[in-house]
Amino acid sequence: MRFAALRLPAANQAADAEPGWSAPDSISAADILRICSPFLAPGSGSPESSHSAGLQDLSRLRLSAIDPPDLSGPDSLTFLGPRVPLRVRASMRAALVVAEPAIEPGSGPGNGSSAPVIRVHSLPAAMAAVLTALESRILREAPYASGSGNRIAPGAVVEGCLEGDVTVGAGAYIGKGSFIGSGTVIGPNAVIQEHCRIGRNCVVQAGAVIGCAGFGFYPRFPMAGNRPELLAMPHPAGVEIGDDCWIGAQTVIAAGVLHPTILGRGCKLDSHVQIAHNVRLGDGCLLASQSGIAGSTVAGHRLRMGGASSVDGHLRLGDDVSVAACSGVTKDFPDGATVAGFPAMPIREWRRQWIKAKRSEGTRED
């Protein structure tokens, strides 16, 4: 399967002309500056603040993708927030960066430190405005006819594509632009929202929801009066699930914002598991019931999570990490780590602390 970011029309790809764009067949940095204009910090767009030669040069800078910083390329637009690690800032290769005034791209081998930077007062508001304005210009795969041998139960609604030999249970919904691989079983009342891709030979049990908007909100800017209003962030990037995956009953996998939420090949999720927006899991991950991963965390292959365990957002977990039941992970862990407790720590350290606490309790009782 192909895990794709949000792609924009390139200069050689035809598109319908729309008023207000610098070119009918591509997106320029000047278009992004115009969309962000209601949120610009003082002086943004000038040569000094944006590290560019001014708006004329921005109009010549063409963009073909919207990527998160760690996946950005030489033709990418990216948004740089305060929780992006310095190592990612140093290596990103974006062509254009949108950031708040206090956030600086790092210096390193990538070109992120020399890319033009559009400074905005509210990064979430600017990001939402860009995603909303470009929604109709995001390149999606052209729909094609479903294959043969599909079994669709009464009451199911299928607006997407079934590759063939797919079973869809009663009351299930598969949204427009979604793709379901051959041999996959979609249980009763499961919901696959728009622009999701599920691989071959997967199981999605009853009541699971894949591709819903994530729990992402931002304050309206500028604020109207003294009462802050929270607005929902667009989630146009969908979900990508590899082959041979198992999604338990009532499990929820939220759609991504700039990049699909990803489950690699062979992942197994128990019932009542929560995967937040922008999470990326490697192959062969196992998550027990009531476990959850907060937004934008990236885990390697073969992650193991015990029941009711949790992982905070914007973290990096290596390959073969194991999280004990009821633990709470609040920081990065390397390959092969086994952690327990809250905040989670290496399990040997947790055991020593537990034994020490028990001995202390015994001393007090004596």
The residues assigned a catalytic role are 277
Phi/psi at 127 (nearest 5 deg)? Answer: -60, -45
Is 157 in contact with 174 (CB distance < 8 Å)? yes
At position 318, the amino acid (one-letter code) is G
- Spell out the long-range contacts of 139-145 with Cβ–Cβ below 8 A and sequence spacing 24 or more: 139/7, 139/8, 139/9, 139/13, 140/177, 140/195, 141/177, 141/179, 143/176, 143/177
CA distance 162 to 160: 7
Rg value, the chain, Cα: 23
CA 19, 25, 30, 33: dihedral to nearest 10 degrees?
70
CA distance 301 to 247: 17
Q: Look at the chain and count its residues.
A: 366
CA distances from 330 to 309, 313, 315 (A): 11, 8, 8
